[in-house]
Amino acid sequence: MCLASDMASLYESLGAGGVLETDAALLAEMRGRIEEEIRKLDEKIADAEENLGESEVREAHLAKSLYFIRVGEKEKALEQLKVTEGKTVAVGQKMDLVFHTLQIGFFYMDFDLISKSIDKAKKLFEEGGDWERKNRLKVYEGLYCMATRNFKKAASLFLDSISTFTTYELFPYDTFIFYTVLTSVISLDRVSLKAKVVDAPEILAVIGKVPHLSEFLNSLYNCQYKSFFAAFSGLTEQIKLDRYLQPHFRYYMREVRTVVYSQFLESYKSVTMEAMASAFGVTVDFIDLELSRFIAAGKLHCKIDKVAGVLETNRPDARNAFYQATIKQGDFLLNRIQKLSRVIDL
């Protein structure tokens, strides 16, 4: 990729990081080709400014921006995109420049740049914008949310974009479905998961192309826990190799296990450890160790009777919790009113 696209800066940084051994002659050759191409692009810009109209001038500047993006010159590309934006009037074309900036941000995992660009895009849409670009932005924002561990918002944005997906510059549709299923599993309740994911025709058409993904989703929904763990172990390598999910690998593993253990325990007031271990296809000792961690972390509402080898669920009473919260907030409000009355009396 570096050599084919003349990405001299990336090639040099990989060499400095010890990832590969750099060839000085090859690096000089790439730099020479870049300089020659930039000279040609500058000539086209000068010719357009002298002999052609405003749209041709903008196109010439855009071509230079895209070239800097292609060769991996981040700062120069961002600077040139700003110059191009100054020559741009139409909101749609300005949005396209923001998408180019977002692509740079995702390539370099520059989350500050991505966040600012998403905010800028939303402001541009207030001035007007077509639905196609709005739907594309949802995918960009969903990817940003997923990469920053906001899986719930990512799932919502991805699900909104399933039938309108056109963002092939980021990833193919089957990768998009992969992300949608993974984020939805830990974000949606069973009813929503069934309606929006399990039975979604767009997902059903593609899910079979991603190894283990169909078994992962359907075995979870159908409570086939042995099959679920087998499919999940098959997906772990794919999650580890994904540049956006890899930093959250351990967190995601915990969240998925929380979902599946909670789903199993929801059906019981009490259940033997042996029955649960059998359902998941693991040993009693493994279940004991696993559940102990999740209970201690407050992720599961149950307790282990080690002597009897039984798990007893103690699901929180939602109505009682709401009552306690209301009392607490009421006390806080009364205290504030009393403090305010003292100030007024003075």
Tens-place pLDDT, residues 212-246: 999 999 999 998 988 998 899 889 999 999 999 99
Contact 94, 88 (CB under 8 A): yes
Q: What is the pLDDT of residue 89?
A: 76
Q: Residues 327-343: pLDDT tens digits?
A: 888 888 888 888 888 77
Query: Is 89 buried (19+), middle (13-18) or exposed (0-12) by CB count in 10 A?
Result: exposed
Q: What is the pLDDT of residue 318?
A: 58
pTM exceeds 0.75, yes or no: yes
- Distance separating alpha carbons of residues 295 and 182, to the nearest angstrom: 24
Q: What is the pLDDT of residue 296?
A: 86
Strands of 310-313's sheet in order across? 270-272, 310-313, 302-305
Q: Supply the mean pLDDT for the chain.
A: 86
Q: What is the pLDDT of residue 305?
A: 82
Q: Residues 25-49: pLDDT tens digits?
A: 877 877 788 888 888 888 888 888 8
Domain positions in the chain are: 1-88
Q: Taking 80 as the threshold, does the pLDDT of residue 274 lie above it?
A: yes
Least confident span in 5-9, 27-31, 120-124, 304-308: 5-9
Least confident span in 13-27, 107-121, 132-146, 251-265: 13-27
Contact 180, 158 (CB under 8 A): yes
Q: Which of 313, 235, 238, 310 is nearest to 268 (CA)?
A: 313
- Distance separating alpha carbons of residues 226 and 280, to the nearest angstrom: 5
Question: What does the pLDDT average to over 180-189?
Answer: 93
Question: What does the pLDDT average to over 267-277?
Answer: 86
Q: Taking 70 as the threshold, does the pLDDT of residue 346 lie above it?
A: no
The 3-state DSSP class for residue 186 equals coil
Tokens of residue 265, six digits? 């325990």
- Distance separating alpha carbons of residues 254 and 272, to the nearest angstrom: 22
Tokens of residue 62, six digits? 């855009």
- Distance separating alpha carbons of residues 221 and 234, to the nearest angstrom: 18
Contact 232, 216 (CB under 8 A): yes
User: Which helix (H) or strand (E) covers residue 302, if one does?
Assistant: strand 302-305
Q: Residues 76-124: pLDDT tens digits?
A: 889 989 888 888 778 888 898 999 999 999 998 999 999 999 999 988 8
Helices (H) and strands (E) in the chain, counts: 17, 3
Q: Which of 147, 102, 143, 112 is nearest to 246 (CA)?
A: 147
Q: What is the pLDDT of residue 157?
A: 95
Rounded percentage of the chain residues whose pLDDT exceeds 90: 36
